[in-house]
Amino acid sequence: MADTRNQDAGGGYRLPEGYERCSKLDPVRDAPDAFGRVRALVAILHGPDGCPWDGAQTNESLLKPLLEETYEYVDAVETDDRDNMREELGDVLLQSVFQAQVCSEDPDDPFDLDEVCDRLVDKLITRHPQVFAPDDETAQPLDADGTLALWERMKQREKRRASVLDGISKAQGALPRAAKVVSRIGKSERADALDAAFDAPSALTDDYADRILRIVREARRDGVDIERDLRVRLREVETAVAAIEDDGGYQGMEGDDDGDQ
């Protein structure tokens, strides 16, 4: 059910109570739609007469909140918390718009959200040739797996990638990176040959990493999202820990030696 708390009698947007007489909010009030209101408000906050903290942010300083809000949205979805999904999805949107606002003010290579959106639309069209075939041509129907494989081929062609692993971020955690590497290799037309890379010699003196990689590969073969399963299991462990602490009168961090603060 739609939230109507900030709508007037005619169904239009209404500013929060007590802020109706602030002329600085005129661009927000006059925006043509909800997304425009977000863009207008972020521009005000990051502008010279806005919030000092917001105005001092850079693309780099906003990376941490971007990651945090994304993880919080993932948690809301996986726990089926619909109210929190509304909140966290808004926070993810804020981070995207905020990043674009900062980019638009770059003195050397500025670009705005309109350019970002147009590039996104172009990408979605060209990555789906089977959906957007010319009217005088008959598109070849594909199932979900075939569509994903076509997406990857179009992506590799557009980006002129020499390797199936090009474009995988090295900044992400080792587990999601491992899952991505395994997935890319598995979807490659040369999967059988590339699979031999997992048997390459290692400088490590133990086999823990190889054992983890084997689990990741097994999970992909079985159609299991290993990251999601691990998050679910950790939530179950955390719930059990909380119950044990409640029953045993847990008093704090005594005896902890893992260096966490």
- Any idea where the domains of the chain sit in the sequence? 23-127, 170-246
d(CA 36, CA 41): 9
25-77: per-residue pLDDT in tens? 999 999 999 999 999 999 999 999 999 999 999 999 999 999 999 999 999 99
> What is the CB neighbour count within 10 angstroms for residue 168?
14
How many angstroms separate the Cα of 78 from the Cα of each of 64, 72, 126? 21, 10, 31
**Structure confidence at residue 225 (pLDDT):** 94
Percent of residues, the chain, with pLDDT higher than 90: 67
d(CA 82, CA 86): 6
79-137: per-residue pLDDT in tens? 999 999 999 999 999 999 999 999 999 999 999 999 999 999 998 998 888 788 888 87
Residue 254 has pLDDT above 60, yes or no: no
Class of residue 72 by CB neighbours under 10 A (exposed 0-12, middle 13-18, buried 19+): middle
Mean pLDDT of 184-207: 92
Rounded (10°) angle between helices 34-46 and 82-104? 50
pTM assigned to the model: 0.72
Amino acid at 87: E
Angle subtended at Cα 255 by Cα 254 and Cα 261, rounded to the nearest 5 degrees: 70
Mapping DSSP to helix (H, G, I), strand (E, B) and coil, where does residue 58 land? coil
d(CA 27, CA 37): 8
d(CA 21, CA 28): 13
CB under 8 Å to 204, separation ≥6 — which residues?
210
**Structure confidence at residue 33 (pLDDT):** 95
For the chain, what is the mean pLDDT? Answer: 88
d(CA 123, CA 143): 20
Q: How confident is the model at residue 155 (pLDDT cuts 50, 70, 90)?
A: confident
Residue 260 has pLDDT above 60, yes or no: no
**Structure confidence at residue 256 (pLDDT):** 57
Residue 157 has pLDDT above 90, yes or no: no
Which residues are paired to 7 by β-bridges?
A: 13
Pick the CATH number of 23-127 from 1.10.287.1080, 1.10.10.10, 3.40.50.2300, 1.10.1040.10: 1.10.287.1080
**94, 39 in Cβ contact below 8 A?**
no
